[in-house]
Structure 1
Amino acid sequence: MTEVSLRCADLARAFGGLQAVAGVSLALYAGQVTALVGPNGAGKTTTFNLITGNLRADSGTAEIRGKPIMGLKPWQVARLGVARSYQDLRLFTHMTVRENVLAATEVSAWFWQPGGRRAQQEREHRAEAALDATGLTSLADARAVDLAYAERKFLSMARILAAEAHIWLLDEPASGLDLASRIRFGSLLKEAQTRGVAICLIEHNLDVVVELSNRIAFLDQGRVLAEGDPDTILKDPALAAIYFGDRPQEAA
């Protein structure tokens, strides 16, 4: 097994009487894609939020390359090499495409940055490389709000590329993409794997899961029910019944 980039153990979070995450343990490996699969409400996005510090866990641990991260703020987790995408994308809609990507390279909130002109040129180079990789160079001066949906998806990926993170947490990154865009998205992930990026994606399109993932963690009701290779997990009839909402009725 390759290097563990991120490991969490027994993560739990409740909202009132609802136990959204109930003891999730997960490892993400360098150069591999892990898919979180499960029905709606299984706790997948909440797990991402606990890892990134967007939500505080009630209990459990998480570490990046052996460094504990529980209790850190989202920006602190990001500086440790974690990049995150969201279902609602969260772009700076009235900034240009280039400005959106450049924002992902900034290391502080100040108007000036350490390193002087050379560092600024390096950030600009990273941004341009990310635009090229995602096919957005010709749209660099367009506002994000004026992009088509698929282009916005790739802008979100360009921001992640420019950040040079070694852990990617992607929440439904391929939803709404046509076949050609899905192929281009898959190429981005495969190239990142060759650089040792650990990728975890939440995805409801099982064709995408089969094509791109090395491992699946199947979640239901806030717990990991099974882990393994895609073929084994997706052919399990009990897991399929849970995924498609065909659970056996409990006895009265």
Structure 2
Amino acid sequence: MTDEVLRTENLARAFGGLQAVAGVSLSLYAGKVTALVGPNGAGKTTTFNLITGNLRADSGAAQIRGKPIMGLKPWQVARLGVARSFQDLRLFTHMTVRENVLAATETASWFWQPGGGAARRAREDRAARALEATGLAALANARAVDLAYAERKFLSMARILAAEADIWLLDEPASGLDLASRLRFGELLRGATARGVAICLIEHNLDVVTELSDRIAFLDQGKVLAEGDPQTILRDPALAAIYFGDRPQEAA
């Protein structure tokens, strides 16, 4: 494959005696969806945290378009074009929907943003397009705390769209969505990959994985056990046994 935009090499991180990530090497490609699949505790979210600088790796390396990113702070990684979602969404619950999205477009933490009125209008246009794309335009003035669950999920996606990042790390973005919302979510991802966005998706719903991913990396106990196309990986009986908790018991 070509157009590799992000690569990790032998990322590792332990928490005391627990080796959460044990040498993960992974590549993301422009215009492709890569799904991280594995049982609970496999190290998927920790891998995201290591890439984004939310956690420091004990060892290993990561780069974006050839630029090393280990040791960078989360905001510095974000400036390189990486946006992510979280399982707990992390919305500004008492801000409006529009304000939540606008926050993702700010270029600094200053009260007054650089660029003047033209830059402000450009940010507002980006936010408006993101709200329209996610079906939230009519709720722009509602508080995030008052949204339904699926609407909060799409607000998280609207912030990523407004940030105009070209690498998306999505942690269970489709969990809890009904079928209609899931289909709309799939349209968002397909539109993004058509624009060349590289997406890495953590998802436990294997129907979503099959529908949306181009590649799967199967993690277990902090290691990548297999990589390949969705049908090959999901039909592997040994991997299925691990995923569903039916791994053989080790001899005493």
TM-score if structure 1 supplies the norm length?
0.99
Question: Which aligned pairs between 1:27-176 and structure 2 lie closer than 5 A?
Answer: 27-176=27-176
Q: Where does residue 7 of structure 2 map in the other structure? A: 7
Q: Where does residue 201 of structure 1 map in the other structure? A: 201
Matched residues in 2 for 1:4 and 1:48: separation? 17
Q: Where does residue 189 of structure 2 map in the other structure? A: 189
Q: CA deviation at 1:30?
A: 0.2
Deviations 1:14-61 (A, max 9, x none): 000000000000000000000000000000000000000000000000
Matched residues in 2 for 1:132 and 1:2: separation? 32
Structure 2 residues without counterparts, runs of 5 or longer: none
Question: Which aligned pairs between 1:197-236 and structure 2 lie closer than 5 A?
Answer: 197-236=197-236
Matched residues in 2 for 1:249 and 1:128: separation? 54
Q: CA deviation at 1:113?
A: 1.5
Matched residues in 2 for 1:211 and 1:2: separation? 22
Matched residues in 2 for 1:67 and 1:195: separation? 22
Matched residues in 2 for 1:73 and 1:13: separation? 17
User: After the TM superposition, which parts of structure 1 deviate over 4 Å for at least 4 consecutive aligned residues?
Assistant: none
- The AA in structure 1 aligned to 2:213 is S
Q: CA deviation at 1:125?
A: 0.2
Matched residues in 2 for 1:192 and 1:48: separation? 20
- The AA in structure 2 aligned to 1:123 is R
> How many residues in Structure 1 have an aligned counterpart in Structure 2?
252
Q: Percent identity?
A: 85
Structure 1 residues without counterparts, runs of 5 or longer: none
- The AA in structure 1 aligned to 2:179 is L
SS of residue in 2 equivalent to 1:168: strand
Matched residues in 2 for 1:179 and 1:142: separation? 24
Matched residues in 2 for 1:156 and 1:118: separation? 26
Q: CA deviation at 1:2?
A: 2.7
Q: CA deviation at 1:78?
A: 0.4
TM-score if structure 2 supplies the norm length?
0.99
- The AA in structure 1 aligned to 2:39 is P
